[in-house]
Chains A and B, each alone.
Chain A
Amino acid sequence: MIGRPIDRFVDWLNDRAAGLSRDTSGTASAASPTWPIALARILLGVLWLGSLRWKLPPDFESDGETSLRQWLELEVEHAAFGVYGDIIDSVVLPNFTLFAWLVFLAELVVGLALLLGIATRPAALLGLLMSLNLLVGLLDVPGEWPWAYVLMAMWHGTILVSNADGLWSARALLPGGNRPLAQSSTS
């Protein structure tokens, strides 16, 4: 249901992109494989699911690793944007259990959806927003390389506008489950 407006927006975006292409050599219309993007979708699904191991309920902690609460405290201590640190400090940390569940469920849903190729575009959009949140929150935290979160955002953006669930996905296996894409019409 939520996927429909996203599909329409992505089709519109790809239509505009196709209009911008100046390549008249004939090679622009040649096909390239989707499998690298499908593989990246699966890898990102594994990444999100793997990141759950150190924030498992009920305490959202794991032995020997920085806990979710400690990461949030680092975001407050080393906030790149004061308002972001204030929100974490005054809204998120006082209601830690609620937000920890939200984080856990969001990462679980995005991870499973990307891994299996179900509701891929809504999952990619949510994953993109989560990656940007990580980027903003961890920008000035010592030892963090913020570009890693740019790379995560980049990959979710690519999955959002591509045929990432065109193969190796539950959607590709379902009869009539695949959607035609504006950018698939390579003629």
Chain B
Amino acid sequence: MTNAISALQTEPRGSLGTTILRIALGLTTLFTWFDNVGKDFYDGDNFPGFFNWAFTPAEEGGNGSSLGFVESIIDNTLLAAPEFFGWLLTLFELFIAVGLLLGLFTRAASLAAIGFFASLFLVYAGGEEWIWTYVLLTAAAVTVFLNWGGRFLGVDQVIAENQGESPATLIW
């Protein structure tokens, strides 16, 4: 009985459901990355505009995000060195997208995705943007991380086969 109950409260690592999440999340991130690159979003001159829009009140045409401490952190980090963080974000998002899509270093990519999507949730929180998007993104990244999303139809499957577990189980 105990075994039957515990079986219903667990999934095999890299289950079909988790794989659907991983691939859809990877595709979403990759297409958004291409779109952003096409618009020069990550450029040091354009990149701060997004955050200015996010924290501008809705009646003035912005998103009206309301978490002051998030705005303060962004002002003192990302906007203090937009050129550097623009490049960092370009590579960071690409790592998440490719990692999730291919199931390559999925534990690390999904952990990075948790941080990225949760940060976006905080940036948009309290504003006009449909916040559920970032809830769904963050929940998907958490699930891919906890359920070892790269172990089915992913490169991690092959790496684990040959190398065993990764250091601290945080890479593949």
Whether chain B is bound by chain A comes out as yes
Whole-angstrom distance between the alpha carbons of A159 and B15 in the complex? 12
Asked whether B69 is an interface residue with its Cβ less than 8 Å from the other chain, the reply is no
Question: Which residues 129-163 of A sit at the B interface, judged by CB distance below 8 A?
Answer: 145, 147-148, 150-155, 157-163
Contact A28 B152 (CB under 8 A): yes
Contact A161 B16 (CB under 8 A): yes
Whole-angstrom distance between the alpha carbons of A147 and B24 in the complex? 9
Give the most central of A17, A34, A163: most B CB within 10 Å.
A34
Whole-angstrom distance between the alpha carbons of A161 and B18 in the complex? 9
Contact A147 B139 (CB under 8 A): no
Question: How many A-B contacts are there with CB distance less than 8 Å?
Answer: 167
Which residues of chain B are within 8 angstroms of A47 by Cβ–Cβ distance? 132, 135
Which residues of chain A are within 8 angstroms of B31 by Cβ–Cβ distance? 147
Contact B135 A43 (CB under 8 A): yes
Which residues of chain A are within 8 angstroms of B13 by Cβ–Cβ distance? 23, 27-32
Whole-angstrom distance between the alpha carbons of A15 and B19 in the complex? 15
A100 to chain B, nearest CB (A): 21
Interface size class on chain B is 35 or more
Contact A32 B136 (CB under 8 A): no
Residues of A contacting B: mostly: helix
Beyond A24-B161, A25-B164, A158-B20, whether A163 also contacts B9 by CB under 8 A is yes
Contact A37 B132 (CB under 8 A): no
Whole-angstrom distance between the alpha carbons of A154 and B5 in the complex? 26
Which residues of chain A are within 8 angstroms of B12 by Cβ–Cβ distance? 18, 28-32, 183, 186
Residue among B10, B17, B143, B157 making CB contact with A161, cutoff 8 Å: B17
Contact A150 B18 (CB under 8 A): no
B55 to chain A, nearest CB (A): 19
Contact A166 B152 (CB under 8 A): no
Residue among A13, A152, A172 making CB contact with B8, cutoff 8 Å: A172
Contact A34 B28 (CB under 8 A): no
Contact B151 A34 (CB under 8 A): no
A139 to chain B, nearest CB (A): 13
Which residues of chain A are within 8 angstroms of B27 by Cβ–Cβ distance? 150
Asked whether A106 is an interface residue with its Cβ less than 8 Å from the other chain, the reply is no
Beyond A36-B143, A147-B32, whether A186 also contacts B24 by CB under 8 A is no
Closest A residue to B143 by beta carbon equals A36
Task: Provide the B1-35 mask, 1 if CB < 8 A to any CB of A, else 0.
Answer: 00011111111111111111100110110011000
Asked whether B40 is an interface residue with its Cβ less than 8 Å from the other chain, the reply is no
Residue among A23, A148, A150 making CB contact with B151, cutoff 8 Å: A23
Give the most central of B14, B15, B153: most A CB within 10 Å.
B15
Which residues of chain B are within 8 angstroms of A185 by Cβ–Cβ distance? 7
Contact B151 A167 (CB under 8 A): no
Which residues of chain A are within 8 angstroms of B91 by Cβ–Cβ distance? none
Which residues of chain A are within 8 angstroms of B14 by Cβ–Cβ distance? 21, 23, 28
Question: Which residues 36-68 of B sit at the A interface, judged by CB distance below 8 A?
Answer: none
Which residues of chain B are within 8 angstroms of A159 by Cβ–Cβ distance? 17
A residues engaging B (CB < 8 A)? Answer: 13-14, 17-18, 20-25, 27-37, 39-40, 43, 47, 145, 147-148, 150-155, 157-163, 166-167, 172, 178, 180-181, 183-186
**A-B contact sample (15 more), CB < 8 A, given A27-B165, A33-B10, A178-B8:** A13-B16, A25-B161, A30-B148, A31-B11, A154-B21, A154-B24, A155-B136, A155-B140, A158-B18, A160-B17, A161-B17, A167-B9, A178-B4, A183-B15, A183-B16
